[in-house]
Amino acid sequence: MSADMSGLVIRDRPSPNHDSRGDVIAGTPRIDMLVLHYTGMQSGAAALDRLCDPEAKVSAHYVVEEDGAVWRLVPEERRAWHAGVSYWLGETGLNLSSIGIEIVNPGHEWGYRGFPEAQMEAVEALCGDIVARRRIPAHRVVGHSDIAPTRKSDPGELFDWPRLARAGVGLWPPPAAELGRRRGRGVGIVERAAALADLARIGYQVEPGNEVPPLVAFQRRFRPERWDGRLDGETAGRLAEVRQAVEVALAAVDAAKRDRFRGYRRVN
């Protein structure tokens, strides 16, 4: 059992389902993504059993129960098996570079419901600690559905991404007030093309003829009032807002890299 400065208490429940992150030559493995899930099972106990079952071959680094209890299943240095076939910003196989958190919730199959306050407090503290320690940029905190939109819908439209963003975890630019009036309104060919380019720039895998799954994933996360996969005026406007926030986050990462490089030259 260990507690960090936020008072978060983490208990160990080791899972055998992990392997090496592999990056031996470069030294420390690169960990620069955080992936949030819901368990999608009828109870937290059932989810913990499955995530620790060698036959199931699935796991996560952490599980957060509805009462706020936090379990560590896999050490962060090891690769947990939570993301599966996945894509973000041109990268695939994201278990390698990510930390995965399973948040207990029955999910859309068993009676999807809101995430209780005690659980969200623990999620916020755990994520805040991880992104600070690992310096995970805001645009690289994602939901499972963002990186596997044709297969997954977790953590889903009831998850409080704005709350996490206020705590410094992930991106959630506040939507412009007038955007809501464009909900349901059609867009022209030019605006549609620009919006799909924004969707790809944010990180989603966008394939011609298969735009609906990433659009649904985007809407669940950034326009949860309606996630029908239709590229309406509000979705297009929201895509532009989020894409701009991603550009700012990317520029901040570049600036940090330049600062590190300057420091390197100074000491040499």
**Binding residues for Zn ion, per CB under 5 A?**
37, 144, 154
- Smaller CB distance to Zn ion: residue 144 or 221? 144
Could you give the count of Cα atoms lying within 13 Å of 26 in the half-sphere of its Cβ?
7
- Smaller CB distance to Zn ion: residue 83 or 171? 83
Task: Say if residues 121 and 174 touch (Cβ distance below 8 Å).
Answer: no
Place of tokens 């560590």: 72
Q: Minimum CB separation from Zn ion for residue 112, in Å?
A: 13
- Smaller CB distance to Zn ion: residue 85 or 255? 85
Neighbours of 67 (CB within 10 A): 11
CA angle centred on 71, ends 68 and 108, rounded to 5°: 65
Neighbours of 174 (CB within 10 A): 9
Q: Which two tokens stand for residue 126?
A: 């755990």
Estimate the share of the chain in helix, then strand, then coil, as percent rounded to the nearest 5.
40, 15, 45
DSSP designation for 101: E
Q: Is 77 a catalytic residue?
A: no
The helix (H) or strand (E) run that includes residue 192 is helix 189-202
Q: Minimum CB separation from Zn ion for residue 101, in Å?
A: 10
Beta bridge partners of 102: 37, 63
Q: Minimum CB separation from Zn ion for residue 247, in Å?
A: 28
Q: Minimum CB separation from Zn ion for residue 154, in Å?
A: 4
CA angle centred on 31, ends 93 and 254, rounded to 5°: 105
- Smaller CB distance to Zn ion: residue 37 or 223? 37
How many angstroms separate the CA atoms of 162 and 169, rounded? 9
- Smaller CB distance to Zn ion: residue 141 or 187? 141
Phi, psi of 18 (to 5 degrees): -165, 165
Out of 55, 65, 77, 102, the active site residue is: 102
Q: Minimum CB separation from Zn ion for residue 83, in Å?
A: 8
Neighbours of 113 (CB within 10 A): 12
- Smaller CB distance to Zn ion: residue 159 or 172? 159
Q: Minimum CB separation from Zn ion for residue 213, in Å?
A: 15
- Point out the residues that are catalytic: 102
